[in-house]
Chain A
Amino acid sequence: MIHKTQQRLDELESVIVREQDMLFRFAYMRVGSREDAEDIVQDVFLKLFRSSENLKSVRNVKHYLIRSISNACRDFHRRRQDILPLEKADKESVQDDDLKMHEEYLRITALARTLPQEQREVLYMKCIDGLKFREISDILDIPEATVKSRYRYAIQAIQKQLN
């Protein structure tokens, strides 16, 4: 049993090493805070660890993780309504090391903020996360043609905004 547990932890470690930065970027670009993004990434890895006796048996771990992170980010925004922000909540709580990253988050968020959520998600997955249409279709469980049309509408809306 101990051997099996260690084996699972080793498998988990190799998945973390391979995917953590990509997943962190995915979450950060949707929640805008290092701590919250890392909490989400941690929760998703633990969910994966909990739900599967053998990580190798999970079909396409990367897609599984992205789908889970995407759902977790949506939950995060829903949950934010339950959190009680103080009136004097400090908005400038970004560490110096993260300033560049946060500027990118703010810049891209400002460009995409007017898009409908489903278009924005496709746009982010393609431009920020570097996924192919086929992969986005698999992750979101929608036809590839729908992915492409949402992407096209999103690009047109940004074009209009920039021009």
Chain B
Amino acid sequence: MKTTDNIEKILTPQCEFKASSSLKDRILEAAAQEEITTPARPRLVIMKYLATSVAAAIALLAVLFIGKSSVQPTYAAEKIFADAAEILNNINSYTAILKVRTDPQENFSYINPWGRFVEHTVTVQQSTGHWSIDKGGRKAVYDGTYTWQWLPESQFGWKYDNENIYVIDDFALLLDLPSLMVAEENIALASNGACITKTESDEVITLVVTSPAQGDFTNEYSRNTSILESDTIREYEFSKEGGELLSLKISTKILGVNRVIVEMTDLKYAPGIKPSTFAVDEDIEWIDNTELGMKVAYETLPFDQFTGITAEEAVVRMFDATSVWDEDFLKVVLRNMSLRQMEKIYKGCRLLEYEPSFKSGLYNGVFVKCKVKMADGRTKKLVVALRNDNPTMTWTADGGL
């Protein structure tokens, strides 16, 4: 007969249980990113705006930024914004250096309030409409015919017809400074002096605009991952004498303090611009997302396998394809990723389980949490971002891999 002591001994684990060495850092990092103060506030119901130009995106900004904010008089702030817009509109070109807390290779819209500043060089030639953004790890150019975006290190990129601001998402807000000024002017007019503060020194006028995060945060996954999905405080400095915009700074409120996420350090009016500024790198593997390129892809690849199904089913089919590395399938669902890069990581990867998809923030697609087993036997948890907001409603993986 086993005694109680014996039973207790049998039930005592015979080995040590050690948490991963990285667990502490993961928790502390997540804690640091927690926003302690989440003030109750009304949220705007927004409709995803299908902008077709930078100006249209700025119009979206105008709609989105009109939120309930701190109640302060504007002192004719709208005129200051309007004057600055006119000055910017009347020059052939401008350049700016923007420091953004982000990752050099991530999408232009991505921000990480706890990340380091990454320098972005912005060049806009208003006389031709050409523009370029370069943040080292990722570049985008509109050369008058196509919009190009590429990752120099991976030598991989995407090509689109005409001017396509989807590729830079809400970074478009920072690219088109005249329209940004117009948008803020509209906010000043619409809010009837309710959301802007103004201070003056001998040489500088400072306007501060505040607005809440935009989007549906029933699921908080996307909060603070882009400018629009953050509570923002936008600070503009203008020359008192000439009225021109001198600087801008965007902060977000995290952990009860204002954290600067974007800072414009060097705005140059009408500088000379070399044509090479709008040239794309050589030796890039381009995904052809032009109308012609898409037509060819539809005719040759099994797009039908990723249409008319749920996002979860698309994830299942995607990992079925990675497990045997079915390139035809993967050229559809991983269309916007470098297949060669993906092959190095995900060849042989199998899906173990997944959860129902969810939406968060302003993202036009959905997220699917899943657990996969890599070819080397390790398991990995992923949150795959997928979208099907394209003409054929085909699911494509958009991130999280």
Contacts and interface: CB of A to CB of B under 8 A. Distances in A.
Interface in B352-400: 352-356, 371, 373, 377-379, 381
A21 B17 contact: yes
A100 B222 CA distance: 38
A23 B23 CA distance: 12
B4 A28 contact: no
B395 to A, nearest CB: 17
Interface stretch (B5-13, B44-52, B91-99, B193-201): B5-13
Given A89-B352, A163-B1, A41 B19 contact: yes
A137 B197 CA distance: 57
B187 to A, nearest CB: 28
A74 B31 CA distance: 24
A159 B3 CA distance: 8
A74 B256 CA distance: 33
B27 interface: yes
Contact of B17 (A17, A24, A111): A24
Q: Tell me whether chain B's interface is mostly helix, strand or loop, or mixed.
A: mixed
Interface in A1-39: 1-2, 5, 9, 12-13, 16-17, 20-21, 23-25, 28-29, 34-35, 38
A58 interface: no
A49 B34 contact: yes
Contacts of B377: 93, 95
B36 interface: yes
A29 B14 CA distance: 13
Contacts of A150: none
Interface residues of A, number: 49
A100 B346 CA distance: 28
Contacts of A84: 312, 353-356
Contact of A9 (B11, B31, B356, B373): B31
Given A5-B256, A104-B13, A42 B352 contact: no
A46 B30 contact: yes
Given A50-B34, A127-B12, A86 B2 contact: no
A108 B11 contact: yes
Interface string A108-132: 1001100000000001001110000
A50 B20 contact: no
A141 interface: no
A153 interface: no
Contact of B23 (A9, A20, A89, A158): A20
Interface string A63-82: 00000000000000000001
Contact of B12 (A1, A128, A155): A128
A20 B16 CA distance: 13
B18 interface: yes
A89 B353 contact: yes
Contacts of B20: 34, 38
A43 to B, nearest CB: 9
B34 A111 contact: no
Nearest to A20: B19
A38 B28 CA distance: 13
A93 B378 CA distance: 7
Contacts of A108: 11, 13
Sorted nearest first, the 3 A-B pairs with minimum C-beta distance are A25-B17, A127-B11, A24-B19
13 contacts: A16-B24, A24-B23, A29-B13, A41-B27, A42-B27, A46-B27, A49-B31, A112-B11, A127-B8, A128-B13, A155-B7, A159-B1, A159-B7
